[in-house]
Amino acid sequence: TQRTLILLKPDAVQRRLVGEITARFERKGLRLAGLKLVQVSRELAEKHYAVHKGKPFYESLLTFLTSGPTVALVWEGREAVAVCRTLMGMTDGAKSPPGTIRGDFALSVQNNLVHGSDSLENAAIEIALWFKDEELVNFAATDANWVA
C-alpha cells in the first residue's frame, strides 16, 4: 500500500470544486490519511515546486499556488501514486481526456486544479513537507475486504 500527496490548488477552492474532486479519490477506494486547508506561503510554494526553479513559468506558478487557499490531502491505498495520477489526467487540461479531473474541469495548463506526487519517493518527501506526523491518521477501513 502507498501514500501520496494531493493538492487541490487555489483554482479548485475558488471554483468550489473541492467536494467534486475529493469525491473522485474517495469513491475510487482510496483511504484518507490527512486533510487540511492551507494558505500557502511563498516559502512552502518554493520548496514544493523546487524542481521547476528556472523554468519560464516558475514565478507564475508560485504566484498561482499562493493566490488563495489550497486543500492538502494524503490518500492511501494500493498503487495510490499512479492511481491518483490517472484520476487527475495530463498536465494540460485541454489535452486531458474526459473522465479525468483535469479533462472534465480544466482548460488551462497552469490552472489545472490538482497536484499529485509523481513517484513514491517524491510522495514521501512531499507528505513530510506538507504534514506533521501527528496530522496523519491511520485507521482500518471497514470495507477493506471489498476494496483492496
Per the structure block, which three cell numbers stand in for 130?
A: 506538507
Contact between 89 and ligand GTP (CB under 6 A)?
no
The answer on whether 138 is annotated among ligand-binding residues is: no
115 is catalytic: yes
Three cell numbers, residue 13: 477552492
One residue of 91, 99, 137, 147 binding ligand GTP per CB under 6 A = 91
The option from ligand GTP, Mg ion, none interacting with 110 (CB < 5 to 8 A, set by class) reads ligand GTP
* Least distance from Mg ion to the Cβ atom of residue 44, Å: 16
91 is in an annotated binding site: yes
Site string for ligand GTP, 41-60 (x = CB under 6 A): -----------x----x--x
| Closest alpha carbon to 64 in 19, 112, 31 | 112
9, burial (CB in 10 Å: exposed 0-12, middle 13-18, buried 19+)? buried
The reply on whether position 93 binds ligand GTP by CB under 6 A is no
Contacts 24+ apart (CB under 8 A), 136-144: 136/33, 136/34, 136/74, 137/32, 137/33, 137/34, 138/33, 139/31, 141/31
* CA 67 to chain centroid: 17
Closest separation between CB of residue 146 and Mg ion, Å? Answer: 32
Question: Which positions touch ligand GTP (CB under 6 A)?
Answer: 52, 57, 60-61, 91, 109-110, 112, 115-116, 118
Q: Which residues are catalytic?
A: 115
